[in-house]
């Protein structure tokens, strides 16, 4: 029995790249279908994440032109992760591949992914060989971030974004995660099953601009930390401990100064400095705790993650 492949592509204002993306994906499907690698009902599913340009109209046109093209239109913009999730949890298929619309990921790698799936891997991660085409800023911040996450005990696949294949079993496992704010690349390794990786060179965005400005990148990074790690909370405890020790020695110093040295402590520095110091640390600590409280607040509401307006 050949694999029924479904390719899920989240699209937010991607009218400039979509025709080319579709051309390449369909060419790939045709090639794989005639090689007997995937079944004839394999398909490409575009998820329109509330685009404000002609993206949805284009998806409708592409779907009308080829029976293997389908579209899911979300009710509004919900972000990359939610868009991806809506596709993964909705479409049919034995193996689901998620890939960005902008052609930064090499579509031909999908063929290798399907081969690895046929060989028994339930999850196949696309891993960037080089980040030569990313800006040095993006490259370095990403590198630092992966390192930081690892130190905090979060199991991320290095240099892997959301280009991956997931088998039906992994998808059904993913469905069990009820988190409203999904950080997919953190969740998927938690699912387990046999995994494999495929390396590829990441290209430049084919057209259009990045939909991840710095602000969104920071939110996304923070999301990853607070969703998966309580290390920042522990660091606060450690910090509190260290400050207490420091204060203890300061008390000793003051006693020594008054009793032995008989020096009149001017008093200003020793009372004002700790006030500022502790004030700062307390605010910082409250901020970190606040991040987690905010997370609890957002998650307990159990708000729906997306609404599908229509499909083609
Ligand atoms: N995307 C989305 N919703 C958003 C932002 C982005 O569906 O709110 C899609 C976008 O169309 C693309 C993918 O997510 O297919 C990755 O976005 P982008 O390439 O802009 O991010 P970058 O590669 O710059 O990190
Ligand atoms: Mg991109």
Residue 226 has a pLDDT of 78
Q: Which of 9, 10, 164 to mutate to test the pocket of ligand 1 (most atoms within 8 A of CB)?
A: 10
Distance CA 58, CA 147 (A): 40
Atom of ligand 1 nearest to the CA of 10: 7
Q: Which of 9, 11, 12 to mutate to test the pocket of ligand 1 (most atoms within 8 A of CB)?
A: 12
Atom of ligand 1 nearest to the CA of 211: 20
| Residue with token string 């590829």 | 200
Ramachandran sector of residue 99 (left: φ over 0; alpha: ψ -120 to 50; beta: rest): beta
Distance CA 2, CA 38 (A): 5
Which residues contact residue 247 at a Cβ distance below 8 angstroms, ignoring those fewer than 6 apart? 274
Q: Which of 80, 106, 203, 210 to mutate to test the pocket of ligand 1 (most atoms within 8 A of CB)?
A: 80
Q: Whose CA is nearest to atom 19 of ligand 1?
A: 210
CB-based pocket (< 6 A), ligand 1: 10-12, 14, 49, 77, 79-80, 83, 100-102, 104, 210-212
Distance CA 175, CA 192 (A): 14
Looking at the DSSP bridge assignments, the partners of residue 165 are: 97, 124
189-223 exposure pattern, b = at least 16 Cβ within 10 A, e = fewer: eebeeebbbbebebeebbebeebeeeeeeeeebeb
C-alpha of residue 236 to centroid of ligand 1, in Å? 34
The ligand with the least distance to the CA atom of 217 is 1
C-alpha of residue 48 to centroid of ligand 2, in Å? 15
Fold for 5-213, please state it.
Spore Coat Polysaccharide Biosynthesis Protein SpsA; Chain A (3.90.550)
Instruction: Find how far residue 137's CA is from the centre of its chain.
Output: 18
Distance CA 155, CA 161 (A): 13
Please give the chain's pLDDT, 312 residues, in tens.
789 999 999 999 999 999 999 999 999 999 999 999 999 999 999 999 999 999 999 999 999 999 999 999 999 999 899 999 999 999 999 999 999 998 888 899 999 999 999 999 999 999 987 666 677 887 788 888 888 888 887 778 888 889 999 999 999 999 999 888 788 888 899 898 999 999 888 777 777 787 777 888 888 888 878 777 777 777 777 787 788 778 778 777 777 877 887 765 667 667 766 777 777 778 777 877 877 887 887 788 788 889 999 989
Ramachandran sector of residue 10 (left: φ over 0; alpha: ψ -120 to 50; beta: rest): beta
Residue 7 has a pLDDT of 96
Give domain limits for the chain: 5-213, 231-301
C-alpha of residue 115 to centroid of ligand 1, in Å? 27
Q: Describe the strand order of the beta sheet including 5-11 as a list of residue ranges.
A: 195-200, 123-128, 160-167, 95-98, 5-11, 43-48, 69-74, 308-311
C-alpha of residue 265 to centroid of ligand 1, in Å? 61
pTM of the model: 0.74
Are 156 and 185 within 8 A, CB to CB?
A: yes
Atom of ligand 1 nearest to the CA of 49: 7
Distance CA 117, CA 193 (A): 12
Distance CA 87, CA 36 (A): 25
How many residues are listed for the chain in this entry? 312
């Amino acid at each position: 029995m050949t694999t029924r492949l479904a390719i899920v592509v989240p699209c937010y204002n991607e009218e400039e790249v979509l025709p080319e993306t579709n051309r390449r994906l369909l060419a790939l499907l045709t090639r794989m279908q005639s090689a007997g690698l995937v079944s004839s009902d394999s398909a490409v599913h575009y998820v329109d994440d509330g685009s404000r340009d002609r993206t949805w109209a284009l998806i409708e046109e592409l779907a009308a032109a080829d029976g293997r093209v389908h579209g899911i239109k979300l009710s509004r913009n919900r972000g990359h992760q939610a868009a991806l999730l809506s596709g993964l949890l909705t479409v049919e298929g034995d193996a689901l591949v998620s890939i960005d619309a902008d052609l930064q990921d090499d579509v031909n790698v999908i063929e290798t992914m399907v081969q690895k799936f046929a060989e028994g891997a339930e999850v196949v991660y696309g891993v960037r060989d080089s980040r030569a085409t990313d800006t040095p800023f993006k490259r370095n911040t990403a590198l630092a971030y992966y390192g930081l996450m690892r130190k905090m005990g979060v199991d991320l696949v290095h240099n892997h974004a959301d280009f991956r294949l997931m088998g039906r079993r992994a998808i059904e496992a993913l469905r069990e995660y009820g988190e409203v704010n999904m950080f997919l690349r953190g969740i998927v390794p938690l699912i387990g099953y046999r995994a494999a990786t495929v390396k590829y060179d990441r290209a430049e965005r084919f057209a259009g601009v990045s939909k991840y400005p710095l602000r969104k990148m920071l939110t996304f990074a923070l999301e990853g930390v607070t969703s998966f790690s309580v290390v920042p909370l522990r660091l606060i405890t450690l910090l509190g401990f260290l400050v207490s020790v420091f204060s203890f020695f300061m008390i000793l110093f003051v006693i020594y100064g008054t009793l032995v040295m008989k020096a009149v402590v001017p008093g200003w520095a020793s009372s004002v400095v700790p006030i500022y110091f502790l004030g700062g640390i307390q605010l910082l600590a409250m901020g970190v705790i606040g991040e987690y409280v905010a997370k609890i607040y957002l998650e307990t509401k159990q708000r729906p993650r997306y609404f599908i307006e229509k499909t083609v």
